[in-house]
Chain A
């Protein structure tokens, strides 16, 4: 318990540091966290609405909810990727548990996602979407996604210490991942026999996005399968990430 409160305070400080640094010189400051996803949504909506509008109800909302989940994953892993390398000067001088650094980046991305959630609720009000009590269950996929992302971040940040190339590979993988995630299309459009449909179905982010949309937008109760698959991916990723990180962390300092 002592350790949790001690490093909890450190995590809080590092997160607020990232916030201050991100918005220090901008006039609108923190408002950007809400404005940015809405602007991105409007942009994507302008591009894709002609192609898909007929097939998806309330396309802006559909887009924004998909973006929210994917951007969290993408932002968190991208900034966690080099979190250990960036903290090199610290790791060499002071003893701090090293998992703090990637974890903090995921927390920071999560805080940003909460602002996107505000944007999402604004769009729901504007588009006269249906509000239901099931909405509150949307916290479940967010928490499971958080755990899933911490696992991936631990894995990536420890590998990147030894191999800087991961940075280049990561951006390619993220772009590919974007296309196999139903953000601006619906998986129903793919045809159940195509191989791409299979990939989309296996994609963990598809599961988190669907769970999130079902509860947040459609007011549908989550199924047992949804809960099990999302939790399974989260636990699997976390256990793998933590195990690899633990095994490699003592050698970080020799490569920093």
Chain B
């Protein structure tokens, strides 16, 4: 098929779970001497194969530690799989953590440019959408205040406004759908509906089955790093709920 935009082929991801994180040479030597250094291998994802077509909305469900976030990170290109390959066609916009690139010493204005650059936007583009970002974030005069003085709601609002300024071809959402007070939450939901409309492909992780059912048409259930079920959202969610 030509319209496949995400293809995961036999993707496995192994983490080295040394019992503790070893940060220094001294600790390392001590642990080797005491034979405490254990390299337990942890299989976060085990032979995952699936493909997503253009315009599909896919929810990923599963218990904590099932590998949902690992899978999202691999699709977003942040993490490389140990085995297998992921092919992506089109621009990916990860709504994984809002405001991850903010520098607390900088003002909101400066952070818009810094964060925008991190997301790969050009200067001309940011100049064009700057007013739009500020307006959506409702920060007003606070935009010239260092973000360390922001409340957590203001911080999240600015992060959300920057991250959602572009309508991407593939949208990746990790449970950050709504931030701020309930008025702003409604605005966020509207904005996400707008981003998801049309041909946008959506991959989302959420613990809220309601949300998955409302937004997605297809669901993938991950259990201990393996795909337990993949198909129509209502069926898969039923199976998932019954198994727990």
Chain A residues in the interface with B (C-beta under 8 A): 5-6, 9-10, 12-14, 17, 20-21, 24, 89-96, 163-165, 250, 253-255
B118 is contacted by which of A96, A164, A165, A254 (Cβ under 8 Å)? Answer: A96
**Looking at chain A's contact residues, is the secondary structure mostly helix, strand, loop, or mixed?**
helix
A24 is contacted by which of B78, B105, B113 (Cβ under 8 Å)? Answer: B105
Of the A-B pairs whose beta carbons lie under 8 Å apart in the complex, a sample of 17, sorted by A's number, is: A5-B122, A9-B117, A9-B122, A12-B117, A17-B103, A17-B106, A17-B114, A21-B103, A24-B105, A90-B101, A93-B78, A96-B118, A164-B24, A165-B24, A165-B25, A165-B26, A250-B80
**In the assembled complex, which residues on chain A have CB atoms less than 8 Å from the CB atom of B24?**
163-165
A254 is contacted by which of B15, B120, B123 (Cβ under 8 Å)? Answer: B15
- Kindly list the 4 A-B residue pairs having the minimum CB-CB distance in the complex, ordered from nearest: A93-B100, A95-B77, A10-B117, A13-B117
Whether the pair B123, A9 counts as a contact (CB closer than 8 A) is yes
Against A, the Cβ 8 Å flags (1 = close, 0 = not) of B81-94 are: 00000000000001
Q: With a 10 A CB-CB cut-off, give which of A6, A92, A95, A254 has the most chain B CB atoms.
A: A95
Whether the pair A10, B16 counts as a contact (CB closer than 8 A) is no
Whether the pair B101, A6 counts as a contact (CB closer than 8 A) is no
Whether the pair A90, B100 counts as a contact (CB closer than 8 A) is yes
Q: With a 10 A CB-CB cut-off, give which of A14, A94, A254 has the most chain B CB atoms.
A: A94
Question: What is the bound-complex CA distance between A76 and B7, given in angstroms?
Answer: 41
Q: Is B96 an interface residue (CB 8 A)?
A: yes
Smallest CB-CB separation from B104: which chain A residue? Answer: A21
Q: Is B38 an interface residue (CB 8 A)?
A: no
Whether the pair B120, A6 counts as a contact (CB closer than 8 A) is yes
**In the assembled complex, which residues on chain A have CB atoms less than 8 Å from the CB atom of B80?**
250
Whether the pair B79, A21 counts as a contact (CB closer than 8 A) is no
What is the CB-to-nearest-CB distance from A2 to chain B, in angstroms, rounded to a whole number?
A: 10
Question: What is the bound-complex CA distance between A21 and B76, given in angstroms?
Answer: 30
Question: What is the bound-complex CA distance between A165 and B105, given in angstroms?
Answer: 28
Question: What is the bound-complex CA distance between A118 and B97, given in angstroms?
Answer: 43
**In the assembled complex, which residues on chain A have CB atoms less than 8 Å from the CB atom of B129?**
none
* Further contacts, 10 of them, CB under 8 A, given A95-B78, A164-B24, A165-B24: A14-B117, A17-B106, A90-B101, A92-B78, A93-B96, A94-B100, A94-B101, A95-B94, A250-B80, A254-B15
Question: What is the bound-complex CA distance between A131 and B106, given in angstroms?
Answer: 41
Q: How large is the interface on B (under 10, 10 to 19, 20 to 34, 35 or more residues)?
A: 20 to 34
A20 is contacted by which of B16, B78, B110, B118 (Cβ under 8 Å)? Answer: B110
**In the assembled complex, which residues on chain B have CB atoms less than 8 Å from the CB atom of A9?**
117, 122-123
Whether the pair A94, B94 counts as a contact (CB closer than 8 A) is yes
**In the assembled complex, which residues on chain A have CB atoms less than 8 Å from the CB atom of B63?**
none
Whether the pair B123, A89 counts as a contact (CB closer than 8 A) is no
**In the assembled complex, which residues on chain B have CB atoms less than 8 Å from the CB atom of A14?**
114, 117
Q: Is B23 an interface residue (CB 8 A)?
A: yes
Whether the pair B78, A91 counts as a contact (CB closer than 8 A) is yes
Q: Is B119 an interface residue (CB 8 A)?
A: yes
Question: What is the bound-complex CA distance between A185 and B94, given in angstroms?
Answer: 55
Q: A5-B122, A6-B122 are in contact. Are A93 and B94 (CB under 8 A)?
A: yes
Question: What is the bound-complex CA distance between A90 and B79, given in angstroms?
Answer: 12
A90 is contacted by which of B76, B118, B122 (Cβ under 8 Å)? Answer: B118
Q: With a 10 A CB-CB cut-off, give which of B28, B96, B114 has the most chain A CB atoms.
A: B114
Whether the pair A20, B101 counts as a contact (CB closer than 8 A) is no
Q: A17-B110, A93-B96, A94-B94 are in contact. Are A10 and B122 (CB under 8 A)?
A: no
Whether the pair A93, B114 counts as a contact (CB closer than 8 A) is no
Smallest CB-CB separation from B78: which chain A residue? Answer: A95
Q: With a 10 A CB-CB cut-off, give which of A13, A163, A253 has the most chain B CB atoms.
A: A13
Smallest CB-CB separation from B163: which chain A residue? Answer: A94
Smallest CB-CB separation from B101: which chain A residue? Answer: A90
Whether the pair B105, A254 counts as a contact (CB closer than 8 A) is no
**In the assembled complex, which residues on chain A have CB atoms less than 8 Å from the CB atom of B106?**
17, 20-21
A253 is contacted by which of B78, B103, B110 (Cβ under 8 Å)? Answer: B78
**In the assembled complex, which residues on chain A have CB atoms less than 8 Å from the CB atom of B103?**
17, 21
**In the assembled complex, which residues on chain B have CB atoms less than 8 Å from the CB atom of A24?**
105
Question: What is the bound-complex CA distance between A145 and B24, given in angstroms?
Answer: 31
Question: What is the bound-complex CA distance between A255 and B73, given in angstroms?
Answer: 16
What is the CB-to-nearest-CB distance from A232 to chain B, in angstroms, rounded to a whole number?
A: 32
**In the assembled complex, which residues on chain B have CB atoms less than 8 Å from the CB atom of A96?**
118
A94 is contacted by which of B28, B78, B123 (Cβ under 8 Å)? Answer: B78
Smallest CB-CB separation from A18: which chain B residue? Answer: B103
What is the CB-to-nearest-CB distance from A8 to chain B, in angstroms, rounded to a whole number?
A: 10
**In the assembled complex, which residues on chain A have CB atoms less than 8 Å from the CB atom of B119?**
94
Whether the pair B113, A13 counts as a contact (CB closer than 8 A) is yes
Question: What is the bound-complex CA distance between A99 and B141, given in angstroms?
Answer: 36
What is the CB-to-nearest-CB distance from B178 to chain A, in angstroms, rounded to a whole number?
A: 19
